[in-house]
């Protein structure tokens, strides 16, 4: 699933079907989860019920007994984790059509299924009832808001903050996230399925979604009267105080945003109360991101666990050259058992012929708009890189111009591969003892030298920190 599963609305009027890209989905996610839980439970109930499933998956009417047993073990392991989450997190009364407690489920998935000890990584006691459902938000203009999520806890408005938001969401929606401790170091990318490039591409697509245009004739006189009401003071029943466009917090570097108010408007605060949830931090006990987060206590706020997991994953993704690695150094954590003090480390969608990006489209066919089809996505290196040796910030000879943590090119001093090859495995000169990581800026960015602290500052901004002189 991608964003569209929950953020697409379809409306039928007088026989015409309209697809609203980025609109709040009118779907029953509770039914999907509970039905899937029951269906898999029924399949695993007996050898007889499992046999047709195995035959379909293995594509054989008489599959090999060893293959069936191996499949059974895989499904058993999956179901143990999924069923644990469902029986503890889903409320008895359901969420209702078009509603979901996304924040509660993200918190439960991360703290309950991902940060325990191998082999199952679960801490069932961390899972709480997710009973604060809200309507799915629309997506247009979301990338330019300075705060996002219904409780308003996620800073937003730049590419790196958008990536952090999306990584946090994907950790709660079925991604594989199994951080492990290696002595005093936390490996956040162990067996991860987080697709950083894919998340960046989805964010770029969201940026192109505009608010839906009213497809029928507008009564000009009523529009004028409505404008007057909208612009009234809030005390007089106006709307612009909360829904008007005003400058928000500026994001690094010099990115303007729209102000997003976070305030109590007198409605149910249960969704906001989710932010106070605490949980056992499991393998992340003591973990912190240098210059960005405080060490996690044995029991800490789940919001802090999420921040450490997200920033740690992004930092490790950067430090391993944009490709997951099993020996990355993205964060530090004293090992409670060893006494270590911690080591710093490294047919449904209408094409938009004009390319206007409007979210409201007449149903004609399935696919991205023509503007999206024409643009080629930027790819980062996906191959595993050789050992990085010492990693330090580029100084006199370094160039760093990308404002996000997904590098388009990786260049190494004394690198024997062609410097403009974006998809070749980097061959390092074995005689070079000091390796310098260099990120080439995109051609659209007119810079020759960019201080390496831009990356660390972006990481810090994700955590809410203001400034830092730290270097990677």
C-alpha to C-alpha distance for 17 and 20, rounded to whole angstroms? 10
The stretch 123-127 carries a mean pLDDT of 98
The stretch 270-290 carries a mean pLDDT of 95
Sign, CA dihedral 350-361-136-310, equals positive
pLDDT score of 8 more than 80: yes
CA 252 to chain centre: 20
pLDDT score of 346 more than 60: no
CA atoms within 13 A of residue 51's CA, in its CB half-sphere: 6
The stretch 410-425 carries a mean pLDDT of 35
- Reported as a pLDDT band with limits 50, 70 and 90, residue 150 is confident
C-alpha to C-alpha distance for 381 and 196, rounded to whole angstroms? 11
Distance (Å) of CA 244 to CA 45, 219, 220, 230, 247:
55, 22, 20, 9, 10
Is 0.85 surpassed by the pTM of this model?
no
pLDDT score of 257 more than 90: yes
If you count DSSP H runs as helices and E runs as strands, how many of each does the chain have, helices first?
Answer: 12, 14
Q: Which residue has the higher pLDDT, 347 or 42?
A: 42
CA atoms within 13 A of residue 346's CA, in its CB half-sphere: 18
Q: Which residue has the higher pLDDT, 375 or 14?
A: 14
For 20-68, give the DSSP string: EETPPP---HHHHHHHHHHHHHHHTT-HHHHHHHHHHHHT-SS--HHHH
C-alpha to C-alpha distance for 465 and 291, rounded to whole angstroms? 9
Question: What average pLDDT does the chain have?
Answer: 75
The stretch 425-453 carries a mean pLDDT of 37
The stretch 439-453 carries a mean pLDDT of 39
pLDDT score of 334 more than 50: no
The stretch 231-260 carries a mean pLDDT of 92
The stretch 225-254 carries a mean pLDDT of 93
pLDDT of residue 320: 86
pLDDT score of 343 more than 70: no
C-alpha to C-alpha distance for 310 and 163, rounded to whole angstroms? 9
The kind and range of the H/E element at 223 are: helix 220-230
pLDDT of residue 363: 36
Query: What pLDDT digit, counting tens, does each position of 155-198 carry?
Result: 999 999 999 999 999 988 889 999 999 888 999 999 899 999 99
pLDDT score of 416 more than 80: no
C-alpha to C-alpha distance for 390 and 371, rounded to whole angstroms? 42
Distance (Å) of CA 395 to CA 85, 246, 403, 404, 460:
48, 39, 17, 19, 21
Listed ranges 105-114, 143-152, 176-185; the one with the highest mean pLDDT = 105-114
- Reported as a pLDDT band with limits 50, 70 and 90, residue 128 is very high
pLDDT score of 355 more than 60: no
Cβ contact 6:29 at 8 Å: yes
pLDDT of residue 208: 93
The stretch 239-266 carries a mean pLDDT of 91
Query: What pLDDT digit, counting tens, does each position of 289-299 carry?
Result: 999 999 999 99
The answer, yes or no, to whether the previous bond of 363 is cis (omega within 30 of 0) is: no
pLDDT of residue 264: 86
Query: What pLDDT digit, counting tens, does each position of 379-408 carry?
Result: 332 223 332 222 233 333 333 333 333 332
C-alpha to C-alpha distance for 256 and 91, rounded to whole angstroms? 40
pLDDT score of 333 more than 90: no
- The partner residues of 145 in beta bridges, in order of sequence, read 258
C-alpha to C-alpha distance for 219 and 442, rounded to whole angstroms? 47
CA atoms within 13 A of residue 285's CA, in its CB half-sphere: 15
Share of the chain above pLDDT 90, in %: 57
The kind and range of the H/E element at 332 are: strand 331-332
| Other beta carbons less than 10 A from residue 302's beta carbon | 24
Cβ contact 185:289 at 8 Å: no
- Reported as a pLDDT band with limits 50, 70 and 90, residue 1 is confident
Sign, CA dihedral 202-203-204-205, equals positive
């Amino acid at each position: 699933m991608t964003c569209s599963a929950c953020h697409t609305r379809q409306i039928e009027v007088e026989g015409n079907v309209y697809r609203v890209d980025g609109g709040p989905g009118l779907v029953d996610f509770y039914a999907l989860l509970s039905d899937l839980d029951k269906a898999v439970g029924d399949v695993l109930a007996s050898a007889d019920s499992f046999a047709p499933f195995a035959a379909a998956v293995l594509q054989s009417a008489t599959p090999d007994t060893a293959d069936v047993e191996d499949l059974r073990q895989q499904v058993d392991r999956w179901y143990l984790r999924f069923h644990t989450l469902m029986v503890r997190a889903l409320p008895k009364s359901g969420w209702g059509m078009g509603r979901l407690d996304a924040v509660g489920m993200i918190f439960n998935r991360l703290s309950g299924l991902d940060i325990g000890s191998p082999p199952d990584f679960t801490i069932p006691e961390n899972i709480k009832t997710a009973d604060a459902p809200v309507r799915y938000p629309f997506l247009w203009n979301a990338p330019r808001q300075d705060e996002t999520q219904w409780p308003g806890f996620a800073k937003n408005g730049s590419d790196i903050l958008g990536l952090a938001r999306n990584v946090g969401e994907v950790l709660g929606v079925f991604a594989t996230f199994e951080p492990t401790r290696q002595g005093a170091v936390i490996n956040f990318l162990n067996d991860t399925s987080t697709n950083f490039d894919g998340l960046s591409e989805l964010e770029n697509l969201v940026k192109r979604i505009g608010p839906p245009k009213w497809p029928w004739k507008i009564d000009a006189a009523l529009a004028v009267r409505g404008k007057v009401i909208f612009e009234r003071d809030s005390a007089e029943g106006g709307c612009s105080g909360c829904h008007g466009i005003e400058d928000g917090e500026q994001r690094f570097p010099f990115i303007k945003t729209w102000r997003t108010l976070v305030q109590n408007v007198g409605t149910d605060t249960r969704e906001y109360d989710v932010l106070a949830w605490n949980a056992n931090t499991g393998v992340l006990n003591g973990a912190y991101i240098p210059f960005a987060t405080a060490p996690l206590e044995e029991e800490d706020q789940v919001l802090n666990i999420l921040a450490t997991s997200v920033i740690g994953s992004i930092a490790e993704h950067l430090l391993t050259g944009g490709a997951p690695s099993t020996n990355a150094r993205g964060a530090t954590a004293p090992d409670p058992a060893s006494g270590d003090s911690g080591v710093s480390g490294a047919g449904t969608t209408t094409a938009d012929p004009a390319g206007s990006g409007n979210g409201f489209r007449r149903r004609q066919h399935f696919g991205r708009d023509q503007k999206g089809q024409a643009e080629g996505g930027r790819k980062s290196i996906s191959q595993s890189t050789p050992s990085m040796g010492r990693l330090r910030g580029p100084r006199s000879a370094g160039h760093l111009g990308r404002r996000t943590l997904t590098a388009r090119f990786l260049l190494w001093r004394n690198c024997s591969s062609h410097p403009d090859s974006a998809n070749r495995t980097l061959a390092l000169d074995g005689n070079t003892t000091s390796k310098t990581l260099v990120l080439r800026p995109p051609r659209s960015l007119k810079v020759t030298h960019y201080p390496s602290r831009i990356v660390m500052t972006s990481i810090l901004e994700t955590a809410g920190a203001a400034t830092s002189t730290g270097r990677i």
